[in-house]
Structures are given as C-alpha cells and as structure tokens.
Amino acid sequence: MSHSLGRFLGLFNLDPGKRYPTNLLLFEGLRRLDTQAIQCLQIKCRRSVAYLLRQAGLSASDLTDDVLNESILVFLQKIGDSSYQFTGNAPATYTIEIARRLVANQTRLKTNQPHIELKDHHQNIQDDSVRDYYDNLEKVNLIEQLLSHLGESCQRLIRLRYLEGLSDEETVAQKLTNYHTVESLKVKRSECMKKLRALAARLHNKKELF
C-alpha cells in the first residue's frame, strides 16, 4: 500500500534531478546499475542527444533512444572496468560526449560510407571505449546465442548470478532454484560455465572469435 502510494506520489516528481541531487549519488547509482539512476541519466541526456541528431541531419525521433541507450551502455562499461573515475563532473556530460561520437559514426555511416563496417569505421574516432564497445558486441551476441543452447537449468543459474546480479546466498535463501546449499549451487554453475566455455571453444575453432 505504502509502496503504491510512494509510486503514485513519485509521478509528480517531474524533475529527475531530485531523485539523485548530486553527481556523486548519481555516479554511485550507475555503478550499482540501479534502474532509477539509469532512468535519471536517460531523462537528463535525452534532449541533448535529440539535438545532436538534429544537428547531424539525422531523424531524431527514430534514433534518439538507440543512440542514447548505446551511449549509456558505453558509459556503464567504462564505469564497470574502472576506466572512468569520478572527479565531480556530471555523468550526463560524459554520456553526451560519448553520444556525440556515436552520432558522428552514424553520420559517416549514412552519408559517406554506407557500406563500411562499424568495426573498421570507428578507427578514425580515436576513442578506445567506443572501439571496445563495438569489438565486444560480437562476443556478446555470440554468448547470447550460446546461452540459448544450454539447458534451462543452466540458463537460469547463469542468469540469476550474472544478469540478475543475485548472490548465491540470496538465490538459496529465496529458493529460486532446486539447489538448497550454496556449495551445490556453485558446483552446478561451474559445470554450466564449463559447458558454455566448451561451446565457445568449439566455435572458436570455426570462427576464431575467442
């Protein structure tokens, strides 16, 4: 009841900045991958990204969400691998800078070299984070495919730990799987990971991706 009331009252909190009043709080929220922090960043950057796209002569309505979400993904990746260190600056400013580079990519792709691969094309941008992002995309897509080849039980174990972000203790306590101890859960997941590595290695021999 109180949760619903809070959500309803939250509707009137139109200024997203009020949810994270300081840059540090927003950065901490992003580091924890809080949905609300990401929402806040999306709201703060959306207008600027649309403006960038309009300036670049691209259809803002179609691309804004895509470019915005990709920029945030790159930014979260940089926070995750510690290549971005908080120095008091606004995370939104950094995200918009990333978006500017992605928009430049899109512009090149659309106008000059429509046939060029993103992977090759971003070399001129001189930004490792954007390049890493595109390099990583193929691996991510591959892992997504491989995950679907695993059994349902394995998929669930990996999803709970690495996609939902639940610790083994939480998984066991909430009885989300058939495993009643942390040890048995770890052993089973380790087996699943081995299976996933084996599938990846098999593909490696074919495609030389890993």
Partner 1 sequence: MAYDVEAYLNGELHGEALDAFERELQQNPVLREELAQQRDIMNALQHIRRRERIADAADQNRREHRQRRFVLGLTLLTLFGGLVLLYFYWIRPASPALPFPPQHPPVPENQQIPPSQTPSLTPPQGSPPFIAQNQLPPGKTTEPGPLVRGGEEPDIDRNMVPLFDTVMLQSPPFVPRGGSFDAVAAQVVARAYTPALARLQKMNTRFVQNDTLQYLTALCLLLQKQPVKASAYLFPLNRPDSPFREETQWLLGLDFLLQGKRDAAIKTLQLVQKNTAHPRSEAAGRLLDKVAMLGH
Site string for partner 1, 33-72 (x = CB under 8 A): x-xx-xx--xx---------------------x---x--x
Q: What are the phi and psi torsion angles at 190 (to 5°)?
A: -60, -40
DSSP single-letter state for residue 122: G
Q: Which residue has the tokens 């992002």?
A: 133
CA distances from 138 to 8, 21, 82, 100, 141 (A): 41, 37, 22, 23, 5
186 scored as a contact of partner 1 (CB under 8 A): yes
User: By CB under 8 A, is residue 200 in contact with partner 1?
Assistant: yes
Nearer to partner 1 among residue 92 and residue 108 (C-beta): 92
* Close Cβ partners of 13 (under 8 Å, ≥ 6 residues apart): 19
Per the CB < 8 A criterion, the answer to whether 172 and 182 are in contact is yes
11 near partner 1 (CB under 8 A) = yes
Residue 77 in the binding site for partner 1 (CB under 8 A): yes
- The answer to the question of residue 80 lying near partner 1 (CB under 8 A) is yes
Per CB under 8 A, which of residues 153..172 are in contact with partner 1?
158, 162-163, 165
Compute the distance between CA of residue 140 and CA of residue 25 in angstroms, rounded to an integer. 29
Q: How far is the CB of 169 from partner 1 (least distance, A)?
A: 12
76 lies in the binding site for partner 1 (CB under 8 A): yes
Q: Does 207 bind partner 1 (CB under 8 A)?
A: no
Complex with partner 1: residue 1 or 9, whichever CB lies closer: 9
CA 186 to each of CA 152, 172, 196, 199: distance values in angstroms, whole numbers, following the listed order:
16, 11, 15, 20
Question: Hey, what are 66's tokens?
Answer: 């895509």
- How far from each other are the two terminal CA atoms of the chain, in whole angstroms? 50
- Interface residues toward partner 1, by CB under 8 A: 10-12, 14, 33, 35-36, 38-39, 42-43, 65, 69, 72-73, 76-77, 80, 136, 139-140, 142-144, 158, 162-163, 165, 186, 189-190, 193, 196-197, 200-201, 204, 210
